[in-house]
Structure 1
Amino acid sequence: MRDSKIMFSNLRAEMAREEITIGKIAEKVGVNRDTMGRKLSGKAPLYLNEAFVINRIFFPKENIQYLFKELIADKSDEEKLNLKN
């Protein structure tokens, strides 16, 4: 059985509200639709510059941390990596 976790739930919600397709995002980011689909489902890496392009072009009023909250380390991640100050 496949684990079908939805990545970037806030981004997906904003895409639905604004009727922005994966294809439209892919075009602006410079990848094909299938590649962008894999990136947005967590099956391929989404690079920081791609996240900035998505934020700047499609959702300039939204905070990038809100759109991509799943990429932000939480306290337990910091402790595992010994990144505490």
Structure 2
Amino acid sequence: MIYGLTNYPITYILKLKLPCRVNERRREMFPNLNAEMAREKLTIKSLAEISGINYESLKLKLRGVTEFKLCEMIAIKKKAFPDKTLDYLFQPIYNGKKEVE
């Protein structure tokens, strides 16, 4: 048996499913949309059901991995936040600061 820096065999350590990144915050791409979801007590799952967007796709879009289609943005605005503007809801954030024109 080969032992690592601990008293556990290397094969045991390699079989552990530990997260690759510890204590890393999830980045949010649309802080205003996240804030409005919190105010309305909407989860990503409930927003997906309301808007008709696939849950997994919506998670990726909210993190900024993939882009929203205009029709998806309009669906979220009309069905979940009719009193808010698209500009407000989908104002992106870059490098910790909101984008300013």
User: What TM-score does the superposition give when structure 2 sets the normalisation length?
Assistant: 0.62
- Scaled by the length of structure 1, what TM-score is found? 0.72
Considering only aligned residues, what root-mean-square deviation do their CA atoms show, in Å?
Answer: 2.2
Which residue in 2 is equivalent to 1:60?
82
CA offset at residue 64 of structure 1? 1.1
* Corresponding residue for residue 28 of structure 1: 50
Write the mapping of 1:5-44 to structure 2, written as runs, cut at 5 A: 5-44=27-66
Which runs of no fewer than 5 residues in structure 2 stay unpaired?
Answer: 1-20, 94-98
The alpha carbon displacement at 1:26 in A equals 1.4
Q: Work out which of the two has the higher radius of gyration on C-alpha atoms and give 1 or 2.
A: 2
Greater relative contact order (Cα < 8 A, sep 6+): 1
Q: 22-31 or 41-50, which moves further after superposition?
A: 22-31
More helix by share: 1
Distance 1:63 1:28 in 2: 18
Give the share of equivalent positions with the same residue, in percent. Answer: 36
Unaligned runs of 5+ in 1: 76-85
Number of aligned residue pairs: give it.
74
Deviation at 1:17, TM superposition (A): 0.5
| Larger CA deviation: 8-17 vs 39-48 | 39-48
